[in-house]
Chain A
Amino acid sequence: MTSVTPLRRPEGAEPPALHARAMDNLAFIRDTMEAAGSFTAVSGWGMVAVGCIAIVAAVGALLEPDVSRSLLIWLTAAATAPFVSLWAIVRKARAAKMPLVTGPARKFVLSFSPPMFVGALLTIFLYRAGLSTAIPGMWLLLYGTAVVAGGAFSVRVVPIMGFCFMVIGTIALFSPPSWSDVLMGAGFGGLHIGFGIPIARRHGG
């Protein structure tokens, strides 16, 4: 026999608790904000600032004949960039009165971090193995991978930028080592600035 669901609430049955409904409403607001506001995790102006750092690093590295020293210049830029980026993200979140750690932001960080960690390990490995010339291509490829993975939870332009990094990384991997600094400048400098400006203009900073 089929079961019958009564239309009316049975006598004595408790309505959902008031605080439970309030919590449900708050969860709904938070979920809607997260679904509508994934862009807030990325700061366009932060990307422009990181791009400028990369351009300075590219010029410095181009002028430096020693490979290890030019690598050090890039490492300094790579160490500075996350702080600049984080500062810009915090500023943007505050300006938009948004919580810093939203669902999409958390997912972005979780997807972005593993390729970056692998990149750091491979940098040490390749440097020790005397394969420093492969490092720029690997950096661009893994950064692109991180951006594509993290960008899946952000606006469409972010994963597109990731793919562009991967393209430049592929070129860097198979081109003469003398091109490395130019390609790194084009990637970390040009792409960050080129994509950062439209993100800043269209997505609130």
Chain B
Amino acid sequence: MAKHGVVREDRHTSNDLRAVRGKGESKSPARSDALDRLIHERLRLGIVSALAVNDSLSFSDLKKLMKTTDGNLSVHARKLEEADYIACTKSFEGRMPRTEYRLTATGRRALERYLDHMEALIRATRER
């Protein structure tokens, strides 16, 4: 149920963004034209935000932080990994496997773009 809600909201926000584009966004350079849906999803946005303020975080750190399940976190982390937004390193701590994530330069730029988008949106609404 919640998932459907998120999908509906994504589409709605994206359409609205298109409507306000050109007003607030023109002030900020180097911005992509579309809202980055990949990090617009809450859990993925959370992963990217958490990694933005840490050199790296383990799978269990992220799981605790995002209060989510193993399955949900791996699915969303993989999507970010496929887009080269985050990098994953697997190692062993003694006999225990350890998965470590860190934000890539592409991921950091994507987060900055997303923040610009949100700020532009707020600015555009205020300027109306």
Contacts and interface: CB of A to CB of B under 8 A. Distances in A.
A23 B52 contact: no
**Chain B at the A interface: SS class:** helix
Interface string B4-19: 0000010011001100
Nearest to B50: A36
A19 B55 contact: no
A28 interface: yes
A22 interface: yes
Interface in A27-43: 28-29, 32-33, 35-37, 39-40
Given A18-B20, A18-B125, A37 B118 contact: no
B126 interface: yes
B115 interface: yes
B33 interface: no
Contacts of A128: none
Given A26-B118, A29-B115, A32-B46, A21 B54 contact: no
Interface in B102-128: 111, 115, 117-119, 121-122, 124-126
Interface residues of A, number: 22
Interface residues of B, number: 29
A23 B49 contact: no
Nearest to A25: B118
A96 B52 CA distance: 8
Given A15-B12, A18-B121, A204 B45 contact: no
B54 A28 contact: no
Contacts, number: 66
A36 B70 CA distance: 18
A32 B49 CA distance: 6
A32 B119 contact: no
A98 interface: yes
A17 B122 CA distance: 10
A99 to B, nearest CB: 10
Contacts of A19: 121-122, 124-126
B54 A36 contact: yes
A79 B22 CA distance: 52
A111 to B, nearest CB: 21
B57 interface: yes
* Smallest CB-CB A-B distances: 10 pairs: A37-B53, A19-B125, A36-B50, A22-B121, A32-B49, A22-B118, A18-B16, A29-B49, A33-B53, A32-B46
